[in-house]
Structure 1
Amino acid sequence: MANRRQVMTALDALLAAGVKIDNVQQWCRDNGVNARTYYRHRARIEAEGAWRQRSRRPHHSPSITPPELDAWICKLRADLGVDNGADHIRDELQRIASETTPAWAVPARSTINRVLARHDLLDRNPAKRPRSSWRRFAYAQPRDCYQIDATGLTLADGTPVVIFDVLDDCTRMLVACRAAPAETAAAAITSIRRAFTDHGPPAIVLSDNGLAFTSRLLHTNAGPSRFAKAVHHYGTRLIHSSPYHPQTCGKVERHHQTLKKWLRAQPHQPRTLRQLQHQLDTYRDHYNHRRHSALPGRATPHHAWTTAPQHGSPQALPIQTDATIHRTRVTETGTLHVGQTRIGIGRAYHGQTLTAIRDNNHITVYTTSGHPLGHVTITPGKSYTPLTPTH
């Protein structure tokens, strides 16, 4: 016996051609077709001239996204310019809805993603780790730590320039964003001083090991760099990034991507440093006051900064719940203590006060100049662990 689709195709052809079947019940039994199906097909062919598959779409869909809302979602996807995903689109829709009379309902994040997928505007990355697997490290209060880093850009005429971003680690507040002709110590000092003047000096400044921040090689015995001296003048401690958790410049480096997306979305590319700085000032106000997704409750950085119960300062090292920061003196035997753990540093550091940051069972030790000396992994039952040097 032929399959059901072939049988139904043959039946429709017979009915359309006007062929009369004398014994319908017997034909249906022989071909495995329900008699009601036969009569339904015959009635539709007689009424419409042919059998056509009808749409199964419901006549009424009260919960479907209205066409005008679809259009807004697609428009905001292209226009926002700053990580314009579902969360940010929803933020803008809430603002637009509040100005609309009557106000219309703002869809959920999942609905916005379905609309983007329907219009082929959703970037899919199956290999990307889910958000639930992320483990964030953040300082507990504003002004505990500022991260500073520079990123390259070109003006409209092709002239290379740099942008120094200074980001508060806790609130993601962009405390400074300055354009400069090159990544120099003088430009880095100008940027960090602007952040200190506008928002106050923090307990710690975290940077990478670029020459603008170190002005020397890692393993030389030269004194503090110009940038380090400028930071220390305010009583703030400078540390440099290490390839080990949690001391990385990941937040400010990720912010470069957000900033550049916004700059690319602007109608005009700046031709001078002054024009670029004007765009950066506009962006900074937008970023701090209107949107952000990495904070609890999707608070803006400015709201998180202004509503914090207290702020850090150079007078007190940060107190963490997910990490602890220690300033400890090296003993005559070349060891230092972090809690119950003794770490072998070497007699060459006898008498020096070093900084150790502990994240669960991982400890990174920094020199007085802020460079990572090395790290250890705490092993239960062992009270002494030698330092593994940072290469």
Structure 2
Amino acid sequence: MGKHKNLAIVRSVTSQGLSVASTARKYRVSRQWVYTLMRRYQASGPAGVEPVSRAPARRPVSTPDPVRKRIIELRQHLTSQGADAGAETIAWHLQREGFHAPSKATIHRILRTAGLVTAAPQKKPKSAMIRFEAELPNQMWQADITHWHLVGGTRVDILDFLDDHSRYLVGITAYTRCTGADVVEMMTTLITGFGPPATTLTDNGLVFTSRFATHPGARNGFEVLLASQKIQQKNGAPGHPQTQGKIERFHQTLKRWLSSKPTPTELTELQELLDQFRTWYNTNRPHRAIGRRTPEQAYTALPKATPTAEQNTQYRTRRDRVDASGKVTLRYAGRLRHLMIGRANKRQPIIMIIDGENVTTSHAHTGEILAEHTLDHTKIYHPKRPPPPNPQTHQKR
């Protein structure tokens, strides 16, 4: 339509003899525009009055082709490796490689144009989330157990500990079946290597807490270890995994990365993959929640928090009867312990007063103290604690 109108304006002057002012009034354009069309027509004929694009000949702020190409390559490479491949991650990699990274919106637009974006309209917006974060490294460790499969479908457990402040993966280990003893052993190793955290946050699995056990009572091994280190223990509300949201989200990253690798045939192969993942996750993967730093950078940037709260000792009583061999059993640190009372007291009713690791056993009817024990989580059988020496036997004659 524009070409034909422009040509009609020119013909009104050249063929019909109208003046420039009359032609401008007739077609409701400016006189300057009529003169411009006349000059174009005289120079190039009808082709000269065709509409011309108003876009600039060059766009100095447009994304260069090498950068566009590298954005697409990074998206495809990171996706194939099971890594995060969003606009912020791609911008971080571009900067590391020496490119001038465009804005997140520009990167997203390039990916969408290339058909590399899958719409997710049902995804919950970030503004709907309520987040919390520890202020210092080692202020809180989150721990959990997830699962993976070996060749043949064998299911195995993966235990991991994540620093809440920095997202630093403190430890990750594969087990055929993770037990309470495994959790205690790994936690002890991590405390030796990284120092004790001020608090821990886990779900209510029996390897982490005994408060929802079928027969609750004594603390399990993990609880005893935390109490001995003055580490405050926190547990999420039952049926509310969002409390441990960071480590739950971490498992998505872990499993996406494992899915991009060949399925391991043995537990040792899986552990090798987990060790590789831990190095990559801590040192080569920028994390959006910590300012596009790696977890290792965030973990080493500030001083470490340490336990400060005094732990309340566990006090409880229990009624029982001495067995025929002169022993009673007591669950402590997740295992049954055998306490020697003495054959002379077999079949006798007793009351046990448990104050942390100290146990005092008395006769249920007479109140006579029969034995005292100090529990050791490394031992199953506990002999009676020897009575204190009688001062009178040490008096000089």
TM-score normalised over the length of structure 2: 0.62
Q: 1:33 Cα deviation (Å)?
A: 5.0
Q: 1:167 Cα deviation (Å)?
A: 0.5
Structure 1 pair 42/190, CA: closer, same or farther in 2 (3 Å)?
A: farther
Partner of 1:67: 65
Query: In 2, are the aligned partners of 1:82 and 1:262 still within 8 Å (CA)?
Result: yes
Cα distance in 2 between the residues matched to 1:245 and 1:152: 19
Is 1:116 paired with 2:114?
no
Q: Bigger CA drift: 54-63 or 216-225?
A: 216-225
Q: Which amino acid aligns with 1:309?
A: P
Query: In 2, are the aligned partners of 1:204 and 1:237 still within 8 Å (CA)?
Result: yes
Q: 1:147 Cα deviation (Å)?
A: 0.7
Name the larger-Rg structure: 2
SS at match of 1:256: helix
Cα distance in 1 between the residues matched to 2:53 and 2:154: 59
Query: In 2, are the aligned partners of 1:208 and 1:249 still within 8 Å (CA)?
Result: yes
Cα distance in 1 between the residues matched to 2:227 and 2:162: 18
Is 1:239 paired with 2:240?
no
Is 1:287 paired with 2:281?
yes
Query: In 1, are the aligned partners of 2:210 and 2:217 still within 8 Å (CA)?
Result: no
Q: 1:148 Cα deviation (Å)?
A: 0.5
Q: 1:37 Cα deviation (Å)?
A: 5.0
Structure 1 pair 69/139, CA: closer, same or farther in 2 (3 Å)?
A: same
Partner of 1:317: 309
Is 1:301 paired with 2:295?
yes
Cα distance in 2 between the residues matched to 1:247 and 1:128: 14
Q: 1:229 Cα deviation (Å)?
A: 3.8
SS at match of 2:97: helix
% same residue: 33
RMSD: 4.2
Q: Which amino acid aligns with 1:86?
A: A
The runs of 5 or more residues in structure 1 that have no matched partner are: 1-5, 98-103, 319-325, 330-351, 354-391
The runs of 5 or more residues in structure 2 that have no matched partner are: 315-354, 357-397
SS at match of 1:281: helix
SS at match of 1:150: strand
Q: Summarize deviations over 1:246-301 as a string: whole Å, max 9, x none.
A: 992111111111222222344x3333322221121111112212333355544322
Query: In 2, are the aligned partners of 1:202 and 1:236 still within 8 Å (CA)?
Result: yes
Q: 1:174 Cα deviation (Å)?
A: 0.6
Partner of 1:260: 255
Within the candidate set 259, 274, 278, 2:268 is matched to 274
Partner of 2:97: 96
TM-score normalised over the length of structure 1: 0.63
SS at match of 1:59: coil
SS at match of 2:85: coil
Cα distance in 1 between the residues matched to 2:132 and 2:169: 18
Structure 1 pair 309/186, CA: closer, same or farther in 2 (3 Å)?
A: closer
Query: In 1, are the aligned partners of 2:84 and 2:253 still within 8 Å (CA)?
Result: yes
Q: Which amino acid aligns with 1:129?
A: P
Cα distance in 2 between the residues matched to 1:160 and 1:40: 79
Q: Summarize deviations over 1:124-145 as a string: whole Å, max 9, x none.
A: 66764356x7653222322222
Cα distance in 2 between the residues matched to 1:61 and 1:9: 27
Q: Which amino acid aligns with 2:94?
A: L
Cα distance in 2 between the residues matched to 1:328 and 1:215: 15
SS at match of 2:249: helix
Aligned positions of 1:333-344 closer than 5 A: none
Query: In 2, are the aligned partners of 1:177 and 1:284 still within 8 Å (CA)?
Result: yes
Q: Which amino acid aligns with 2:60?
A: P
Query: In 2, are the aligned partners of 1:216 and 1:222 still within 8 Å (CA)?
Result: yes
Q: 1:170 Cα deviation (Å)?
A: 2.0
Query: In 2, are the aligned partners of 1:12 and 1:41 still within 8 Å (CA)?
Result: yes
Query: In 1, are the aligned partners of 2:158 and 2:175 still within 8 Å (CA)?
Result: yes
Q: 1:173 Cα deviation (Å)?
A: 1.3
Q: Summarize deviations over 1:130-170 as a string: whole Å, max 9, x none.
A: 56x76532223222221111222233433323322210122
Q: 1:198 Cα deviation (Å)?
A: 2.8
Q: Which amino acid aligns with 1:288?
A: N
Aligned positions of 1:75-224 closer than 5 A: 75-80=73-78, 81-97=82-98, 104-122=99-117, 128-130=124-126, 135-214=130-209, 217=212, 220-224=215-219
Structure 1 pair 153/244, CA: closer, same or farther in 2 (3 Å)?
A: closer
Cα distance in 1 between the residues matched to 2:235 and 2:205: 9
Q: Which amino acid aligns with 1:317?
A: A
Cα distance in 2 between the residues matched to 1:120 and 1:41: 43
Q: 1:117 Cα deviation (Å)?
A: 4.1
Structure 1 pair 212/246, CA: closer, same or farther in 2 (3 Å)?
A: closer
Cα distance in 1 between the residues matched to 2:274 and 2:3: 66
Q: 1:305 Cα deviation (Å)?
A: 2.4
Query: In 2, are the aligned partners of 1:204 and 1:236 still within 8 Å (CA)?
Result: yes
SS at match of 1:260: helix
Structure 1 pair 41/260, CA: closer, same or farther in 2 (3 Å)?
A: farther
Partner of 1:340: none
Query: In 2, are the aligned partners of 1:216 and 1:225 still within 8 Å (CA)?
Result: no
Structure 1 pair 228/40, CA: closer, same or farther in 2 (3 Å)?
A: same
